[in-house]
Amino acid sequence: MELLYAMTTGVLTACGLYLMLRGRTFPVVVGLTLLSYAVNLFLFSMGGLTTDGPAIVSEENGYADPLPQALVLTAIVIGFAMTAFVVILAMRARSEVGNDHVDGKKEDRE
Amino acid sequence: MTLLWIALLPLLGVLVPVLTAQRGRRFCSMATAVLPATALVMTLLNVPALLDGEQLRFSATWMPELALDLAFRLDGLTLLFNLLILGIGLLIILYAHYYLAKDEPFGRFYAFLMLFMASMVGISMSDNLILLWLFWELTSLSSFLLIGFWSHQSDARKGARMALTVTGAGGLALLAGLLLLGDMAGSFNMGDVLASGDAILADPRYPVMLVLVLLGAFTKSAQFPFHFWLPHAMAAPTPVSAYLHSATMVKAGIFLMARLHPAIAGSELWSVVVSLVGIVTMLYGAWFALVKTDLKGILAFSTVSHLGLITVLLGIGSPMAILAALFHILNHATFKAALFMSAGIIDHEAGTRELKQLGGLKKAMPVTALLTTLAAAAMAGVPLFNGFLSKEMFFTESLETPVLGGISWLLPALAALGGILSVAYSLRLVHAVFFKPAREAPPKSPHEPPHLMRLPVEILVVLCVVVGLFPALMATGLLSLASQAVIGSPLDFHLAIWHGVNLPLIMSLLAFVVGIALYWRHADMRRFTQQFAGVDARRVFERILISIGYRAEQAIGALEGNSLQRYVGWLWLAALIMGAIGLVQMGNLTGSAGNQPLDGVLILGAGMLMFGGVATAATHRYRLISLLMLSVVGLFVALTFARFSAPDLALTQLSVEVVTMILLMLALFFLPQKTPRESSPLRNVRDMLLAGSLGLVIASLNYAVLTRDTLSISNFFVENSKSGGGGYNVVNVILVDFRGFDTLGEITVLAIAGLAIFKLLNRLRLFMPHSDGEGRVWSPDRYPAVLTSISMTLLPLALLVSAFIFLRGHNQPGGGFIAGLITAVALILLYMARGVEWAQARLDFPFQPVAVIGVAVATLTGLGSWLFGHPFLTSAFGYFSLPLIGTFELATALLFDLGVYLAVVGATLMILANLGKVTTAHRPVTEASEKETDANAATPSAQEPR
């Protein structure tokens, strides 16, 4: 299970990174979102993978580590805010520059 | 304690002119003079104690971890410099009172001047190396302000910048040198450093330290080859030149060499470097003083020359040479300040400083002519003036020193040459301005200045003459104190005008005869020098600066070339290398904790995640499809969280997924629907390799961590969640209680991001397509009935669910973040189903305040705990019971969570609703830009995106 989880994180990371190397804004934003999924999964797994043990205090033993969860929870929300900011920036850049190339140069290289 | 006051009074004096500038110039000048005068008197009051051999020190700990103490000392050397700085400073205040034009901001000028004075006094009094350096830098900064005082003149700006660059760079070298020095001496206390000269000389780092410290001293004291800033600093108002560039700041480097003399001077390296640099500077400066035609230029180069002379003496380093150096510091400050002020008077009254336009001023300004002639005589070293005495001593020392080994005979020869040049340029200065008939008329008809403006010059010239006539009476006391501070033991010496006919006297005579002859043949010499194309130091300096900037730009261009792709590529490559290095060093990838068993659901989930990721990347040119694939990934990430015991995360991810998709769909409406094929196959392969390898590294890392036992600090949270935070849901308690401060920061970021987006959308001009990527026109059915009715039914339900999730968050999965997102999604659904117009009519308020209020509520909750004497964000909770409902819990954490909830709702709606409104009449515009945007709007009619 650990191996499969790590592979998934790796594949998502690779796809996100590949998209971030593209030359147009939208794939870069999509890549960023994909990368943030991968990062969140990675961070989340730092507390180990626990089945059936949500971090709710009860009589039973064996909780999942709550700290990575708390960190990832805020990371998800902040990640959304950042994605939103970047995508609006991309829209603004397109309206100012006239194309959606990531380098923000005036001449359209299409 | 008086020591502290002597150092602090000039610093307090910075405020005086600022506060009194309103009261008129006379009042302001007088008030400004009070504090430095007091400091001067206090310095003098300490003289008896000094004569008794008392150690005058003040020390208070300031920043012990930086070895920085607020430590001051008052010894003979400090006394000499304090007298110069404060005494001449007072004269300069008087002089500037008359010098500055009526409409010039004299308050600001005085404030800069006082700041400079305070930092010079600080250098002179510092008993701690770091403190000394701080004041050293302060002189660089304040002299920058003073040189650039006439900031409307390009010359002044460039001169100020050059002075700051050179002295600032030297200051950095000095800092490095002083840190080394302190490390070698084992202390940053001046007394300890001076006492550990032997240990310092024996240290292998000595040469490095010496070069760094000398770099600082040479740049500050305008020694060759760093002299070039000084003539350009002459763009400053003349009081500044007289003060900074003759009497004080340029002496700071000399002071430093004298101050540290016991600690660092005892080596051959010191003698050779310092005396050679000094002698070159002396001759170079003297030569240029002879050929310059600008009055202040002549004085500037002669200053360079005299500083070189003092440096030679410090390089020779014998006790009598030190004495001569100190004496010449004093003498040079008096006659050169007098000459600068005279030059200022001539400039002020005649309107020019060009020798060509000056001449025959003797008739118009007889008194000034007399004063200038006397001061110039002192500079030339005419007998019965103070300059003669120290120059004789210089000649004597140059004859006796063995500093250059076998070619030491060269030193007196070069010294005599310096003497010749100095006689020639002094003669030229006086003769060309006052006696020779003018070739061109000056712009103004010259006349004598107001008497008080001349007073400082008179005082200084009288000093020159009196010291020259009665050296033993006037200077012995001060010099014996000062030399004792440098040498360490009392020095037996006798200052006298007449030593009998000896070699130094013959050298002086020779200097006069040849110097006068040289000036007589001055025209020939000018013709000779004119054959050589002059090098303008400023132009060279600026060319160097520009070429550095250009090279840097080129290097950056070659590396990333303003291309985000290349930049990101380098970043990934660096991350790849670092990660790979870490992995290689790890012995075994699989740790001790084994694999947990797999099951079908897990394999399906992982498969879907991988498929979604690859599909997103593969279809990225078809943006809508790529987006759909992305949402598959997002949903399965949420399921992953749910599978691995993180219900809060699953809920959050699910709701964020919804808003992210709406956001990206909206954005896609305004962006091209397809990505053109532009990367070459080679580039695609390269990118895939890079991303793939980095993915492998991440996967390996993740696997390595997952198969190892973790050591978590979370037990604390689990154990204290109920007892300390009053909640069963540990994740939520961490968010709103244990790590509440983090959360506060994060919702603040969220609100700021929302506000930033709001500003970005402001006046956004957009291209609005009327059809999709394939040319299909948008569906005419803008508000489908099914969606409309479902959304209407869903709204109250969704709000109810969000309230429920919010309230139970402390004990069960849920909380402010999730509840906020659910509310936001429900409202957004309404916008989508019924359109902006409809929603706007019912939800007519801006969302910005909601987000801000949210952050405010959370902050105030935190602040509230202060009222009860607890630290920021301490939470309290209690159990209450009501009839019918039963026992329930109330915690301040709930209030904090309410803040989180509001911030999330406000920020999310600010982003999405405003983006949706961009195409409508409700788009975000500021009032000022409203008209313009209305005019520019492509289609004002509502063209709703879906």
Residue B911: its chain A contacts at CB < 8 A?
Answer: 81, 84, 88
Q: Is residue B728 within 8 angstroms of chain A, CB to CB? A: yes
What number is the average pLDDT over the span B288-292?
85
Closest alpha carbon to B68 in B135, B140, B116: B135
Is B796's pLDDT higher than 80? yes
Cβ within 8 Å, pair B659-A80: yes
Residues with Cβ within 8 Å of B407's Cβ and at least 6 positions away in sequence, in order, are none
Q: For B534, which DSSP code?
A: P
What is the CA angle B107-B109-B110, rounded to 5?
Answer: 65
Select the more confidently predicted residue: B274 or A50: B274
Q: Which residue of A has its CA nearest to B901?
A: A77
**Cβ <8 Å between A1 and B734:** no
The H or E element that residue B441 is part of is none
Split at pLDDT 50, 70, 90, the class of B941 is very low
pLDDT for res B457: 92
Separation between Cα atoms, residue B259 and residue B78, nearest integer Å: 9
Are residues A11 and B597, on separate chains, in Cβ contact within 8 Å?
no
Q: Mean pLDDT, to the nearest integer, of B246-272?
A: 90
pLDDT (tens digit per residue) in A3-14: 899 999 999 999
Please answer yes or no on whether B671 and A57 come within 8 Å at the CB atom: no
Task: Tell if the CB–CB gap between A102 and B761 is shorter than 8 Å.
Answer: no
Q: How much is the pLDDT for B944?
A: 42
Confidence of residue B887 (pLDDT cuts 50, 70, 90): low
The pLDDT assigned to B675 comes to 80
CB contact under 8 A, B749 and A57: no
Indicate if the pLDDT at residue A108 is higher than 90. no
Q: Give the integer Cα–Cα distance in Å for B326 and B310.
A: 8
Q: How confident is the model at residue A54 (pLDDT cuts 50, 70, 90)?
A: confident
Contacts of A44 in chain B (CB under 8 A): 641, 644, 646, 649
B610–A103: do the CB atoms touch at under 8 Å? Answer: no
Cross-strand bridge partners of residue B890: B878
Q: Which residues of B touch A87 (CB under 8 A)?
A: 663-664, 667
Residue A64 clears pLDDT 50, i.e. is over it: yes
Q: What is the rounded CA–CA span in Å between residue A3 and residue B576? A: 21
Pick from A67-71, B500-504, B938-942: least confident: B938-942
Classify B874 as helix, strand or coil.
coil
Paired residues of B128 in beta bridges:
B189
Is residue B141 within 8 A of residue B14, CB to CB? The reply is no
The answer, yes or no, to whether residue B123 has pLDDT greater than 90, is yes
Nearest to A15 among B598, B617, B717 (CB): B617
If 0-12 CB within 10 Å is exposed, 13-18 middle and 19+ buried, where does residue B151 land? exposed
Kindly report, residue by residue over B304-313, the tens digit of the pLDDT.
999 999 999 9
Asked whether B740 and B875 are in contact (CB, 8 A), the reply is yes
CA–CA gap between residue B2 and residue B58 (Å, rounded): 9
Two tokens, residue B203 = 């240290």
What pLDDT is attached to residue B914?
82
8 Å CB contact of A26 and B764: no
What mean pLDDT do residues A21-44 have?
A: 92
For the ranges B91-105, B146-160, B591-605, which has the lowest average pLDDT? Answer: B591-605
Q: What is the CA radius of gyration of chain A?
A: 19
B902 touching chain A per CB within 8 A: no
The residue with tokens 């084994």 is B594
pLDDT in the model for residue B885: 63
Using CA coordinates, name the residue in chain A closest to B565.
Answer: A21
Residue B522 pLDDT level (bands cut at 50, 70, 90): confident
Residue of A58 and B252 predicted with greater confidence: B252
Residue B931 has pLDDT above 50, yes or no: no
Most confident among B149-163, B169-183, B731-745 (mean pLDDT): B169-183
Counted residue by residue, chain A has a size of 110
Nearest neighbour of A84 by CB, restricted to B663, B731, B766: B663
B691 contact A CB<8A: yes
Rg of the Cα trace of chain B?
39
Q: What percent of chain B has pLDDT over 90?
A: 39
> How far is the C-alpha of B353 from the C-alpha of B384, rounded, in Å?
29
CB contact under 8 A, B811 and A25: no
Q: Name the least confident of B375-379, B570-574, B595-599.
A: B595-599
Q: Provide the pLDDT confidence category of residue B930 given band limits of 50, 70 and 90.
A: very low
Q: What pLDDT score does B940 carry?
A: 40
- Paired with B69 in beta bridges are B61
Tell me if chain A has a CB within 8 Å of the CB of B672: yes
Q: Which residue of B has its CA nearest to A65?
A: B714
Q: Please report the residues numbered 576 through 595 in chain B whose beta carbons come closer than 8 angstroms to any beta carbon of chain A.
A: 595
**Does the beta-carbon distance from B565 to A23 stay under 8 Å?**
yes
- The yes-or-no verdict on residue B755 having pLDDT over 60 is yes
CA atoms of B442 and B434, how far apart (whole Å): 13
Question: Is the distance from CB of B269 to CB of B210 less than 8 angstroms?
Answer: yes
Which ipTM was obtained for this model?
0.94
| pLDDT higher at A42 or B475 | A42
B632 touching chain A per CB within 8 A: no
Tokens 């007998």 belong to which residue?
B383
Question: According to the model, what pLDDT value does residue B894 have?
Answer: 83
> Which range has the worst mean pLDDT, B60-64, B514-518, B720-724, B908-912?
B720-724
What is the reported pLDDT for B653?
94
Q: Quick one: which of B212, B214, B218, B216 has its CA closest to B183? A: B212
Nearest Cβ partner for A82 among B734, B753, B765? B753
Listed by number, the residues of chain B in 794-823 with a beta carbon closer than 8 Å to a beta carbon of chain A are 811-813, 817, 821
Find the mean pLDDT for residues B286-312.
90
| pLDDT at residue B591 greater than cutoff 90 | no
Q: What is the mean pLDDT of residues B666-683?
A: 82
Q: Is the pLDDT of residue B280 over 70?
A: yes
| Amino acid B287: pLDDT | 87
Distance from CA of A85 to the nearest CA of B (A): 6
Q: Between A and B, how many CB-CB pairs are < 8 A?
A: 308
Residue B568: its chain A contacts at CB < 8 A? Answer: 20-21
Contacts of A47 in chain B (CB under 8 A): 710, 712, 714
pLDDT in tens, B339-391: 999 999 988 888 888 887 887 888 888 899 999 999 999 999 888 888 899 88
pLDDT, tens digit, for every residue of B483-494? 988 888 888 888
The residues near B294 (Cβ < 8 Å, ≥ 6 apart) are B234, B353, B354, B355
- For B500, residues 6+ apart whose C-beta sits below 8 A from its C-beta are none
**pLDDT at residue B786, rounded to an integer:** 86
Query: CB distance B634–A37 less than 8 Å?
Result: yes
Mean pLDDT confidence for B197-220: 93
Contact B749 A78 (CB under 8 A): yes
How many whole angstroms separate alpha carbon B200 and alpha carbon B234?
38
CB contact (8 A) between residue B699 and residue A13: yes
Whether the model pTM is above 0.80:
no
- Position B767 scores a pLDDT of 66
Among the partner residues B603, B645, B821, nearest to A51 by beta-carbon distance = B645
Interval B266-283 mean pLDDT: 91
Spatial distance between the Cα atoms of B362 and B357, rounded to a whole number of angstroms: 14
In whole angstroms, give the CA distance from residue B518 to residue B598: 101
More confident site: B8 or B872: B8
Please indicate if any CB of chain A lies within 8 Å of the CB of B574: no
Distance from CA of A36 to the nearest CA of B (A): 10
Q: How many CB atoms sit inside 10 A of residue B562's CB?
A: 12
Q: Which chain B residue has the Cα nearest residue A76?
A: B653
Cβ of B756 within 8 Å of Cβ of A57? The answer is: no
Q: Do B596 and A2 touch (CB under 8 A)?
A: yes
Average pLDDT, chain A: 86
- Element (H or E) spanning B889, and its range? strand B886-891
**Mean predicted lDDT score pLDDT of chain B:** 86
- Beta carbons of B672 and A10 less than 8 Å apart: no
Chain B residue closest to A4 (CA)? B606
Confidence class for position B303, pLDDT limits 50, 70, 90:
very high
8 Å CB contact between B805 and B822 = yes
For the record, the structure tokens of B30 come out as 């007088």
Least CB-CB distance to A4: which of B569, B598, B644? Answer: B598
Distance CA B643, CA A52 (A): 8
The model's confidence at residue B443, banded by pLDDT at 50, 70 and 90, is confident
Contact list, B722 vs chain A (CB under 8 Å): 57
Nearest CA in chain A to B631: A34
Query: Best mutation site among B564, B821, B825 for testing chain A: the one with the most A CBs within 10 Å?
Result: B564
Q: How far is CA B110 from CA B9, B26, B29, B104, B121, in A?
A: 14, 12, 8, 11, 16
